[in-house]
Structure 1
Amino acid sequence: MRDTIIFREAIPGDAQNVLKHLQRIASETGFMTMGAEGPSKTIEAEYKEIEAILESDKTFLLVALDKEEIIGMAEIHGKDQPKLNHIGDISISIAQEYWGLRLGTTMMEKLIEWAKGPSSNLKRLELTVQARNERARRLYEKMGFELEAIMPRGVKDNGVYLDVCLMSMMIGEI
């Protein structure tokens, strides 16, 4: 299965498949901030968002595909405010049946490579992850992210408040 998976930058034509992937992962685990309600975007809105990402020097959206199906996504979302535009927020999602194939590692490597590249001015990457998501936390630590804070009650899942970890990585020269 792993040898049929390709990674590439998202294109506007992926909009429908991006939303389908987000709907799928929203209900697979309680690790996402989005619940079973799924994404609240139209295909047209997602199409325009991907177009804007392609024109941005602060944001990058990577997709992992098994044949034509998006089975993973990884994004660096840069901030627009002048005092914060050196910070990129990272998010990764992988369909549960593809866990354990090192897709998260591959996608994180590609995100970091892009962030360190000539088209990026990012100096800090950050992400949040539920404290109970030990598999993801180990991945981020392996990639060089450090724990900065634990946010008590950072998310509420099925009526239960859960802790969320803020993790970061500094990149490039100051």
Structure 2
Amino acid sequence: METFLLKNGEKVFIREALPNDAQQIIDFYNLVGGETDFLSFGKDEFTTDVAAFQTTIQKTQQLQGSIMYLAIANDEIISIATIDSPLKKRVQHVGTLGIVIRETHTGLGLGKKMMNELIEWARTNGVTEKITLLTREDNETAIQLYKKLGFETEGILKKDTLINGTYYNTLSMALLLQKN
């Protein structure tokens, strides 16, 4: 899809996920789950088996309102960005966004780049009119980026996450897309 340089000069390639990426994606999720507490899963908690995840990727490729992008540097996944939309007609115009970045590659412009790729894809896919996301209320760096990109707070889910005996609130945010 596209090659670009991070702020540190590292070359990154962004492309759509393929079924044969399944094992590497599972490994990535299990790794990053141990790098931050801002995700909905921890280290080694992504337990989907390879065959099932290959099927998930295949289904995602077939859906007009869903996408999974990989950012790759030095033959390793450094970020995954997704939009998932339901099949139900009444709500398929709403896509749920998820983004994960390796700790080693945060603060280098990758999050903004991946978010912009998803937003542009959503604007042109013919289905998505609203993008939603969930983030922990104390994830200030991510929230600043989301707000810069036009996302607004829609609500707070109280005590939505429990990590090591501590409850955290979750912020629900959304971006309404302009129809061209």
Q: TM-score, normalised by structure 2?
A: 0.92
* Alignment partner, residue 152 of structure 1: 158
How far apart are the structure 2 equivalents of 1:120 and 1:60?
13
How far apart are the structure 1 equivalents of 2:64 and 2:9?
30
* Alignment partner, residue 55 of structure 2: 48
Within 5 A, what are the aligned runs for 1:16-95? 16-95=23-102
Give the paired residue count.
Answer: 173
How far apart are the structure 2 equivalents of 1:131 and 1:21?
24
Q: Is the 2:10–2:73 contact (alpha carbons within 8 Å) kept by the matching residues of 1? A: no
- The residue type paired with residue 98 of structure 1 is H
1:100 lines up with 2:102 in the alignment: no
Q: Cα distance, 1:38 vs. partner?
A: 2.1
> What are structure 1's unaligned runs of at least 5 residues?
none
Q: Is the 1:2–1:101 contact (alpha carbons within 8 Å) kept by the matching residues of 2? A: no
Please give the root-mean-square deviation of Cα atoms over the aligned residues, in Å.
1.3
- The residue type paired with residue 53 of structure 1 is T
> What are structure 2's unaligned runs of at least 5 residues?
1-7
Q: TM-score, normalised by structure 1?
A: 0.95
2:129 to 112, 117, 123: 123
* Alignment partner, residue 177 of structure 2: 171
Identity %: 29
Q: Cα distance, 1:2 vs. partner?
A: 4.2
Runs of 4 or more consecutive aligned structure 1 residues displaced over 2 Å after TM superposition: none
Deviations 1:47-76 (A, max 9, x none): 111111111101000000012111100000
